[in-house]
Amino acid sequence: MAMLEPTARQHLVVVGGGMVARRLVDALRARDDAGRWAVTVLCEEPRAPYDRVALTSYFTGRHPEDLALGGQDLWDDPLVTLRRGVAARSVERQARTVTTADGRTLAYDSLVLATGSYAAVPPVPGKDLRGAFVYRTIDDVADLRAYVEGLRSELDRPVRGAVVGGGLLGLEAAGALRALEVDTTVVEFAPRLMPLQVDDGGGEALRRLIENLGVRVRTGTATARIGGDRGRVARMEFTEGEPMDVDVVIFAVGVRPRDELARAAGLEVGERGGVVVDEGCRTADPAVWAIGEVACIQGRCLGLVAPGYTMAEIVADRLLGGEGTFPGADLSTKLKLLGVDVASFGDAFAKEAGGLEVVISDPVAGVYKKLVMSDDARTLRGGILVGDATAYAALRPMVGRPLGADPAAYLLPEGSAPAPAGDLPDDAAVCSCNNVSAGAIRCAVVDAGCTDLAGVKACTRAGTSCGSCLPLVKKLLTTELEKSGVEVSGALCEHFDLSRAQLFDVVRVQGLTTFSDIIGRHGRGRGCDICKPVVGSILASLGTGHILDGERATLQDTNDHVMANLQKDGSYSVVPRIPGGEVTPEGLIAIGEVAREFGLYTKITGGQRIDLFGARIEQLPKIWKRLVDHGFESGHAYGKSLRTVKSCVGSTWCRYGVQDSVGLAIALELRYRGLRSPHKLKLGVSGCARECAEARGKDVGVIATDQGWNLYVGGNGGFTPRHAQLLAEDLDTEALVRTVDRFLMYYVFTADRLQRTAAWVEDYEGGLDAIRGVVLDDSLGIGADLDAAMAAHVDSYEDEWAAALEDPEKLRRFGSFVNAPELPDDSLAYVAERGQARPATDSERRQSGVLIAGTTLEVRR
Amino acid sequence: MTVNLPDAEAPASTLLEVCPLKALSTERGAAALVRGVQVALFRTFDDQVYAVQQQDPYSGANVMSRGIVGSRGEAPTVASPMYKQVFDLRTGACLDPVGKDPRPLLTYEVAIQDGIVLVGAARAVDANHVPGAP
């Protein structure tokens, strides 16, 4: 790979292992095709760079690993060395070396300081008591959680907590305390919350919203001291007003640059700290650079990740001979704090002369929105959105540009506003985290041929950090696709203009039960191989009867039509259900006898059951008669429906198991068997964290904990493997089943045709968090509908095969020929391999000497 | 059900009785043996009956009768159950080759007399004729 001799390769040392450091290494390695730089990253924390912006989500059920940024690939790059848990002690600029905490000396050709910030702690008495925390790293939040959980077990009242600081970080910390069920008060010195981002009106709206969530707010309040009891935090006293009893205090009053290495090395630091750099991010020493929060650029330190990323890109560019300069920081932010949307962008405080403010303040709805316009009311300068920030993605890229509509229209509730954005100028920044312009997104669609959101994300990185721009990215994608003639209407096919989800709704709401009725009212023509199976699946999901009843039979794909799986030669395979993979010896023998009698090739599936291959269409009822008589039922291996619930052996036998995974798997499989869905569904249950059932590779994965079950969703194997993501922790069995019910039913209600759960979760507006809201907090108020739909499914389940065997009209479909229903297809030919039949290849057919016609004729020997 | 196989020795030009019309489900195919050859019969919504070759030209398996019947514009169609190519039942033309080269189906003459479906000889293949093509 490297085109230069090792001696020509230069060494870059990056001090700091945060998000910006990772971005620098990523950008450099992406562009440095010739391998001009080898990189060593000194990372003080014991883990690779992680998503610090998402730190609070650690409390809402995510694991540290879920905060990982990007893949491991970057750290596996032979030109990149990541040294975790190793801090830099000193820099010797003359010698161009860095000395590390573990006593090594590293030579550098270039040095980048990306040491970030530390959380400031005000000099109040009592700040060092146990129970006083800052909020900066995974270790900080893990310590906080451990402390609060320890207190909870010893107190017989709720834990009381206070956050000092009502800014962005403080409200994040308050969210963390609330997630830990701590009785929380936010104490802010300024007269309003988030004083740097919102004005008085926005601050007031924010206060009301947050107080409605049960968090107390004390603004205009200075903390005087923290009182202790046996070395632990017990009380807060203020310069004015009543003192307050607390058990835990978090300081979130801001951050300070970690510039001590630079100071000791004699580099210039800013008035309020920070390593002074020029517009190319370089210090006065041409071999030393600083990026991110530690850099003092244009006279200030910037505590947001987006400008840090920009600096990382500039240094990567300059290390390779480029001339990039810092364009100035976009301090726009959009956050969800305690579930409340807050956004601030552009000239939010109307500091520029002559600005006009358009304000909508609705205390009842808990919304405050302000746009700052130029003096002619045409050009957008900035704005503040509190309570509903849906307009942010569309508005922020328009800063400095004419809005082209009545500004107030942008502030109306979602849905009633005009849909802007399609005609955004090419140079408008859409994703400020990754600095992706509207033009770059259009280019990804038009030139690189991306046709979906996942493709655009992979190609441009837009929306891969905070994700707030995703609605806009999607809109741009759709617009470009439409321009180039690609059908993105969501219409199923030429017969229906509706998407699957829309069709599901109308069929459900109008109670339609036949295809003729549905296509007559909502479509045209006679349907096709796209829409017919969709309607068949919708009718089956709604529990309207057997899939082969009357006209409904014509809707089914061949697999559903004969309730078996078509194989390459036109024969079928048969899979009886084996719930949870548990089978009695008698059951195994019965399956074995059926396979032997009909000469079927037998193989164990990945879903812990047995697949029997080589059944001719006219044999299927006979095979199933035998299986049903032995107590087996359809395994639905042929349907877009629940396939299997895989399990490990669990606590009944396993030395390590903590819960009965087999018992739960069987219960789940019996509950969801036969549930028709937009695509196949696979579940898994593991009895302990060793995860032998590979549950995280399933659409729904359940992993036992000491306290109950952790629930993961959206995993799959196949062409694009995905790990399922954590939806909820430590559920008892009843709550688990209710949550899985709702997750599955909501998926069935709203997913696209052939969209598996992973893609559905990714495409869903608001992603997994929004889905969690629907299934756990009933944020859409449809929980009862989902529960009722699942109850109806469970109540109406019948074994499709047993029902078909009772009905001569259905059995008639299994005749091989309409004029010779029992005559085998004479083109089927098999040869023996490892003692079983397999279809003959073309060349074997030509040398017909080795042929075995029909499986039942020969392999039965 | 009685087995009534059309005579494999009969002249190809004659129409042979295959089955009663009512033995065919609407909008679902059925396989039949005609002169020892597997044929797929389709009865559409408007009670027209079409006959095409049972062998799927892409997989070689005898499965065409098990495909989904529908329409593309005015054309009555069947989609192969194997790899989903779509064919015009009237002409056998491949309307959607799913990224492969178009391969047509043989079609057979069909008549209905006194409620009985009769199938005759395969029609000459006119691969150039694609309905709707300019």
Q: How much of chain A exceeds pLDDT 90, in percent?
A: 52
Contact of A250 with A173, CB cutoff 8 Å:
yes
Q: Tell me the per-residue pLDDT of A381-408, one tens digit each, with 9 for 90 and over.
A: 888 888 888 788 778 888 888 877 777 7
Residue A178 has what pLDDT? 87
Reduced to 3 states (helix: H, G, I; strand: E, B; else coil), residue A381 is strand
Distances (CA, A) of A268 to A303, A469, A500: 19, 37, 62
Indicate the pLDDT class of residue A488, thresholds 50, 70 and 90. Answer: low
Contact B33 A528 (CB under 8 A): no
DSSP state of A130: B
A554 touches chain B (CB under 8 A): yes
Indicate the pLDDT class of residue A2, thresholds 50, 70 and 90. Answer: very low
Residue B1 belongs to some domain of the structure: no
Give the gap in angstroms from C-alpha B18 to the nearest C-alpha of chain A: 6
A843 touches chain B (CB under 8 A): no
Strand A429-431 and strand A356-362: the pairing is unpaired
A 10 A CB-CB count for A175 gives: 25
Comparing A285 with A433, the larger pLDDT belongs to A285
CATH of residue B98: 2.102.10.10
A 10 A CB-CB count for A426 gives: 11
Contact of A799 with A628, CB cutoff 8 Å:
yes
Q: If you average pLDDT over residues A311-339, what whole number do you get?
A: 84
User: In whole angstroms, how large is the CA radius of gyration of chain A?
Assistant: 32
Residue in B33, B61, B81 closest to A819 by CB:
B33
Which range has the worst mean pLDDT, A137-141, A159-163, A634-638? A137-141
Contact of A523 with A496, CB cutoff 8 Å:
yes
Give the gap in angstroms from C-alpha B125 to the nearest C-alpha of chain A: 23
Tokens describing residue A353? 């002369």
Which chain A residues have a beta carbon less than 8 Å from that of B75? none
User: b or e along A68-95 (b: 16 or more beta carbons within 10 Å of the residue's beta carbon)?
Assistant: ebeeeebbeeebbebbeebbbbebebee
Contact of B18 with B41, CB cutoff 8 Å:
yes
- HSE of A746, CA atoms in CB hemisphere, 13 A: 27
Which chain B residues have a beta carbon less than 8 Å from that of A816? 31
Total domain count, chain B: 1
Reduced to 3 states (helix: H, G, I; strand: E, B; else coil), residue A644 is strand
Q: Which residue has the tokens 């969690």?
A: A772
Given a cut of 70, whether residue A417 has pLDDT beyond it is: no
User: b or e along A403-422 (b: 16 or more beta carbons within 10 Å of the residue's beta carbon)?
Assistant: beeebeebbeeeeebeebbe
Contact B66 A494 (CB under 8 A): no
Residue in B70, B84, B86 closest to A527 by CB:
B70
Contact B72 A817 (CB under 8 A): no
Given a cut of 70, whether residue B125 has pLDDT beyond it is: no
- What span, in angstroms and rounded, lies between the C-alpha atoms of B76 and B70? 6
Residue A65 has what pLDDT? 65
- What span, in angstroms and rounded, lies between the C-alpha atoms of A135 and A117? 12
In chain A the domains, ranked by start, together with CATH numbers, are 6-118+257-319 (3.50.50.60), 132-253 (3.50.50.60), 332-418 (3.30.390.30), 421-486 (1.10.10.1100), 500-556 (no CATH), 560-634+799-861 (3.90.480), 639-784 (3.30.413.10)
User: b or e along A389-399 (b: 16 or more beta carbons within 10 Å of the residue's beta carbon)?
Assistant: bbbbbbbbbbb
Which chain A residues have a beta carbon less than 8 Å from that of B67? 529, 558
- What span, in angstroms and rounded, lies between the C-alpha atoms of A527 and A556? 12
Which chain B residues have a beta carbon less than 8 Å from that of A523? none
Which chain B residues have a beta carbon less than 8 Å from that of A570? 59, 61-63, 82
Given a cut of 80, whether residue A334 has pLDDT beyond it is: no
**Model ipTM value:** 0.89
A532 touches chain B (CB under 8 A): yes
Q: Tell me the per-residue pLDDT of B3-41, one tens digit each, with 9 for 90 and over.
A: 455 555 555 568 999 999 999 999 999 999 999 999 999
Residue A60 has what pLDDT? 60
Residue A206 has what pLDDT? 87
Contact B25 A554 (CB under 8 A): yes
Contact of A453 with A472, CB cutoff 8 Å:
no
Residue B1 has what pLDDT? 42
Ramachandran bin of A479, using left for φ above 0, alpha for ψ from -120 to 50, beta for the remaining angles:
alpha
Q: If you average pLDDT over residues A458-462, what whole number do you get?
A: 82
Q: If you average pLDDT over residues A205-225, what whole number do you get?
A: 89
Which chain A residues have a beta carbon less than 8 Å from that of B24? 818
Residue in B24, B25, B70 closest to A528 by CB:
B70
Nearest chain B alpha carbon to A822: B3
Residue B15 belongs to some domain of the structure: no
Given a cut of 60, whether residue B59 has pLDDT beyond it is: yes
Contact A570 B30 (CB under 8 A): no
Of A684, A691, A708, the closest CA to residue A656 belongs to A691
Residue A858 has what pLDDT? 40
A30 touches chain B (CB under 8 A): no
A 10 A CB-CB count for A21 gives: 27
Contact B3 A568 (CB under 8 A): no
Residue B54 belongs to some domain of the structure: yes
Contact A815 B66 (CB under 8 A): no
Q: A300: Cβ–Cβ under 8 A, 6 or more apart, which residues?
A: A270, A272, A274
Residue in A494, A551, A818 closest to B31 by CB:
A818
- What span, in angstroms and rounded, lies between the C-alpha atoms of B79 and A794? 33
Indicate the pLDDT class of residue A4, thresholds 50, 70 and 90. Answer: very low
DSSP structure string for A195-217: TTT--HHHHHHHHHHHHHTT-EE
Contact A823 B67 (CB under 8 A): no
- What span, in angstroms and rounded, lies between the C-alpha atoms of B113 and B10? 19
Residue A182 has what pLDDT? 92
Indicate the pLDDT class of residue A599, thresholds 50, 70 and 90. Answer: very high
Residue B3 belongs to some domain of the structure: no
Residue in A494, A495, A817 closest to B32 by CB:
A817
- What span, in angstroms and rounded, lies between the C-alpha atoms of A569 and A550? 28
Residue B52 belongs to some domain of the structure: yes
Contact A558 B1 (CB under 8 A): no
Of A117, A115, A119, the closest CA to residue A90 belongs to A115
Contact of B73 with B46, CB cutoff 8 Å:
no
Given a cut of 50, whether residue A733 has pLDDT beyond it is: yes
* Cα A173 versus chain centre, distance: 22
Residue A49's DSSP bridge partners are none
**Cα angle: A808, vertex A810, A812; to 5 degrees:** 70
Contact of A801 with A811, CB cutoff 8 Å:
no
Given a cut of 90, whether residue A573 has pLDDT beyond it is: yes
Counting Cβ atoms within 10 Å, is residue A505 exposed (0-12), middle (13-18) or buried (19+)?
middle
Q: At what angle do helices A733-750 and A661-672 cross, to 10 degrees?
A: 40
Q: If you average pLDDT over residues B108-127, what whole number do you get?
A: 87
A 10 A CB-CB count for A515 gives: 22
- What span, in angstroms and rounded, lies between the C-alpha atoms of A596 and A598? 6
Residue A728 has what pLDDT? 94
Q: Tell me the per-residue pLDDT of A747-757, one tens digit each, with 9 for 90 and over.
A: 999 998 888 99
A 10 A CB-CB count for A847 gives: 9
B116 touches chain A (CB under 8 A): no
- What span, in angstroms and rounded, lies between the C-alpha atoms of A754 and A534? 9
User: b or e along A245-274 (b: 16 or more beta carbons within 10 Å of the residue's beta carbon)?
Assistant: ebbbbbbbbbbbbbbebbeebebebbeebb
| Domain coverage including residue B53 | 25-122
Contact B73 A494 (CB under 8 A): yes
Which chain B residues have a beta carbon less than 8 Å from that of A568? 59, 61, 82
Contact B69 A554 (CB under 8 A): yes
Q: If you average pLDDT over residues A256-276, what whole number do you get?
A: 92
Contact B4 A819 (CB under 8 A): yes
Contact of A386 with A405, CB cutoff 8 Å:
no
DSSP state of A292: G
Residue A371's DSSP bridge partners are A358, A383
Q: Which of A519, A524, A529 to mutate to test the interface with B (most CBs of B within 10 A)?
A: A529
A821 touches chain B (CB under 8 A): yes
Of A743, A752, A751, A840, the closest CA to residue A789 belongs to A743
Contact A570 B67 (CB under 8 A): no
- What span, in angstroms and rounded, lies between the C-alpha atoms of A573 and A564? 6
The alpha-helical segments, DSSP class H, found in A751-807 are 757-763, 767-776, 783-796, 800-805
Q: Which of A819, A825, A843 to mutate to test the interface with B (most CBs of B within 10 A)?
A: A819
Distances (CA, A) of A625 to A502, A508, A685: 39, 34, 31
**Range list of β-strands (E), A677-724:** 681-686, 700-704, 709-713
Residue B11 belongs to some domain of the structure: no
A8 touches chain B (CB under 8 A): no
Which chain A residues have a beta carbon less than 8 Å from that of B27? 526, 551, 554
Distances (CA, A) of A785 to A470, A544, A790, A860, B32: 29, 17, 9, 52, 47
Q: What integer best gives the mean pLDDT of chain B?
A: 86
Q: What integer best gives the mean pLDDT of chain A?
A: 87
Contact of A39 with A66, CB cutoff 8 Å:
no
Q: If you average pLDDT over residues A251-278, what whole number do you get?
A: 92
Residue B8 belongs to some domain of the structure: no
Given a cut of 90, whether residue A112 has pLDDT beyond it is: yes
Q: Which amino acid is at A380?
A: L
A 10 A CB-CB count for B127 gives: 12
- What span, in angstroms and rounded, lies between the C-alpha atoms of A841 and A615? 18
Q: In what order do the strands lie in the sheet with A216-218?
A: A132-134, A248-251, A160-164, A183-187, A216-218
Q: Which of B43, B68, B71 to mutate to test the interface with A (most CBs of A within 10 A)?
A: B68
- What span, in angstroms and rounded, lies between the C-alpha atoms of A449 and A456? 9
B13 touches chain A (CB under 8 A): no
Q: Which of A492, A818, A826 to mutate to test the interface with B (most CBs of B within 10 A)?
A: A818
Q: Note which residues in 46-105 of chain B have CB less than 8 A from chain A.
A: 55, 59, 61-63, 66-73, 76-77, 79, 81-82, 84, 86
A566 touches chain B (CB under 8 A): yes
Which chain B residues have a beta carbon less than 8 Å from that of A495? 70-71
Which chain A residues have a beta carbon less than 8 Å from that of B28? 553-554, 561, 813
- What span, in angstroms and rounded, lies between the C-alpha atoms of A144 and A157? 18
Reduced to 3 states (helix: H, G, I; strand: E, B; else coil), residue B66 is helix
